[in-house]
Amino acid sequence: MSAWTAGPWTYAKDPSGIATVAWVAAYRIGPNHGMPDMADYSEHGSDEADARLIAAAPELADVCKAALNLAWEVGTETEDGVRTLLEDSRGDLYRQLSAALTKAGAL
């Protein structure tokens, strides 16, 4: 997957009033309620909140990458020179950050 458009991003209200969460070229962005190829807009929240979240994505990804390194240090233990991911909430944080960054194409 190629890198996303460099930030910082911003958002602005569209005067047309078209109700979508977001469109990026040919991709729809919105909640997925069991139909992976179709974003469902019937239950979407605040348009401004969605726009702010999308605009913050580059900065959020950078912070998550930094947190991933810290989560690895906190969520692993070393025994006989081998680091092992813990099976508790300390390891869960690493797994969750890793999954989110993988979904974003950042790992």
Show me where the domains of the chain are located: 7-55, 57-107
**pLDDT value at position 24?**
67
Taking 50 as the pLDDT cut, the residues of the chain under it are 1, 19
Nearest Cα residue to 51 out of 7, 18, 21, 16: 21
C-alpha angle 27/58/71, rounded to 5°? 115
What pTM does this model have? 0.67
Q: What is the pLDDT of residue 19?
A: 46
